[in-house]
C-alpha cells in the first residue's frame, strides 16, 4: 500500500478582486439591486446606531462605507435603508454613539434586502443582537441573537406616587419585557381603626390576577411602615416594628401592558403610599 502524501489545495484568485485570494467568506455577492436595512431599538434617548464596513466592487476595488441611524429612545423600531452597490461584502461592524447604553438597552438588526424604494424583499440576515459603544456586533463573527436572550438590562425605577386612598400601580411600557426583582414603598395610614395588609398582584392589564405575592403582616392605624418585596426572600420577615420583607416569584415575566400593583386589605381613604422604587431586568420586545 502506497504511503499517503499530503496535498495542498490553493484557493483560486477571484477575477473581481484583481486576481487576489481573499480570506473573507463572501457569503453575499450583491448586485445593484441589493441593499442594507438597518433597524434599531433603544430604551435610551440620544443614541445613534453606527454601521461601518468594507466591500469590493465588481472591478476589484475596495470601498469603505458608513451609516448612522439616530434611534428614538421609546423602545420602538427605527429603520433606514441604504444603497450598497454591486460586488462582495468583506466585513461590517455595528456599535453605538451618543448616550452610552448598558448591554440590553440597544438592539440592532442588519439585513440584506432586494430593492430600495417601494416593495422590498428580505434576502439575508447579517447582524442581530445587543450592543454598546464598546461591545460591538461584527460580521463575519457575531451570532444572530434573539432580543429575549441574555441577562437583560438592570434598571432601578422610581414609579408613580398614587393619590391618598389609591393603590400603587405600575405598567410595563410598550416595547419592554420585565422581570420584577425588588420593590420598596412606605404606607402611611390615617386614624381609621382597621388593620391594613399590603399585597402585590400581577395581572395582564385587566381584572384577572396572574399571580399574587402575599404579605402576612398587618399594619395598624396612624402608623408608617416600610415594605420590601424581593426575589429570594421568605414569605414574610419583620426586621423591626415598622419594616417588613416579603418574597417575589423568581422568574415571573411581565409583557408590555402587564401590571404589578398593590391590593391592600383594609385600605382607608386617608391612607397614603409614597413613590415606589423597584428594580427590574428589562429586555426589548423586538417586533
Judge if 270 and 248 occupy the same domain.
Answer: yes
Point out the domain boundary residue: 86, 115, 139: 139
Domains identified in the chain, total number: 2
* Statement to judge: residues 163 and 280 lie in one domain: yes
Boundaries of domain holding 244: 153-284
pLDDT (0 to 100) of residue 22? 52
Last residue of a domain, one of 139, 168, 195: 139
Question: Does residue 198 sit within a domain?
Answer: yes
Query: pLDDT per residue over 198-231, tens digit each?
Result: 999 999 988 788 888 888 788 999 999 999 999 9
| 3-class state of residue 111 by DSSP | strand
Distance between CA 90 and CA 178 in Å, rounded? Answer: 38
Banded pLDDT at 249 (limits 50, 70, 90): confident
Q: Is residue 285 within 8 Å of residue 178, measured between CB atoms?
A: no
Q: What is the pLDDT of residue 29?
A: 84
With bands split at pLDDT 50, 70 and 90, how would you rate the model's confidence at 12? Answer: low
**Per-residue model confidence as pLDDT tens digits over 98-146:** 999 999 999 999 999 999 888 899 999 999 999 999 999 999 999 999 9
Q: What is the mean pLDDT of the chain?
A: 90
Q: 259 near 241, Cβ under 8 Å?
A: no
Cell 461601518 belongs to: 52
**Residue 242 has what pLDDT?**
83
| CATH code, domain with 118 | 2.60.60
For residues 95 and 215, membership in a common domain is answered with no
Q: Is 121 within 8 Å of 113 (Cβ atoms)?
A: yes
Q: Domain containing 213 — which CATH number?
A: 2.60.120
Q: What is the pTM of this model?
A: 0.85
Which of 30-34, 118-122, 202-206, 281-285 has the largest mean confidence? 281-285
Report helix, strand or coil for 281: strand
Last residue of a domain, one of 112, 139, 166: 139
Let me know whether 121 and 30 are in one domain: yes
Answer yes or no: is 10 within a domain.
no
- Classify the C-alpha dihedral 141-146-147-148 as positive or negative: negative
Question: 3-state DSSP helix/strand/coil percent for the chain, to nearest 5?
Answer: 0, 50, 50
Q: In what side-by-side order are the strands of the sheet with 259-265?
A: 169-171, 259-265, 197-203, 209-213
131 shares its domain with 215: no
- Whether 122 and 240 map to the same domain: the answer is no
Q: Are residues 127 and 209 in the same domain?
A: no
Q: How far apart are CA 235 and CA 219, in angstroms?
A: 16
* Assigned domain for 15 exists: no
Q: Is 52 helix (H, G, I), strand (E, B) or coil?
A: strand
Amino acid at each position: 500500500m502506497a504511503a499517503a502524501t499530503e496535498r495542498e489545495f490553493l484557493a483560486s484568485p477571484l477575477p473581481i478582486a484583481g486576481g487576489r485570494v481573499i480570506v473573507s467568506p463572501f457569503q453575499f455577492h450583491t448586485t445593484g439591486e441589493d441593499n442594507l436595512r438597518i433597524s434599531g431599538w433603544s430604551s435610551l434617548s440620544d443614541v445613534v446606531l453606527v454601521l461601518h464596513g468594507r466591500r469590493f466592487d465588481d472591478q476589484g476595488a475596495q470601498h469603505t462605507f458608513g451609516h448612522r441611524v439616530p434611534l428614538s429612545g421609546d423602545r420602538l423600531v427605527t429603520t433606514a435603508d441604504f444603497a450598497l452597490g454591486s460586488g462582495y461584502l468583506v466585513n461590517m461592524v455595528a456599535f453605538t454613539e451618543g448616550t452610552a447604553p448598558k448591554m440590553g438597552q440597544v438592539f440592532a438588526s442588519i439585513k440584506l434586502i432586494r430593492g430600495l424604494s417601494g416593495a422590498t424583499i428580505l434576502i439575508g440576515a447579517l447582524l442581530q443582537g445587543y450592543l454598546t459603544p464598546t461591545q460591538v456586533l461584527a460580521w463575519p463573527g457575531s451570532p444572530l441573537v434573539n432580543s429575549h436572550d441574555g441577562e437583560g438590562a438592570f434598571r432601578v425605577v422610581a414609579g408613580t406616587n398614587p393619590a391618598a386612598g389609591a393603590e400603587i400601580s405600575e405598567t410595563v411600557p410598550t416595547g419592554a419585557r420585565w422581570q420584577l426583582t425588588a420593590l420598596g414603598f412606605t404606607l402611611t395610614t390615617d386614624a381609621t381603626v382597621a388593620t391594613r395588609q399590603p399585597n402585590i398582584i400581577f395581572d395582564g392589564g385587566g381584572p384577572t390576577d396572574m399571580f399574587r405575592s402575599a404579605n402576612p403582616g398587618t399594619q395598624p392605624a396612624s402608623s408608617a411602615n416600610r415594605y420590601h418585596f424581593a426575589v429570594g426572600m421568605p414569605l414574610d420577615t419583620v426586621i423591626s416594628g415598622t419594616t417588613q420583607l416579603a418574597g417575589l416569584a423568581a422568574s415571573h415575566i411581565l409583557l408590555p401592558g402587564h401590571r404589578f400593583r398593590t391590593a391592600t386589605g383594609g385600605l382607608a381613604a386617608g391612607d397614603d403610599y409614597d413613590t415606589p422604587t423597584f428594580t427590574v431586568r428589562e429586555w426589548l420586545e423586538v417586533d
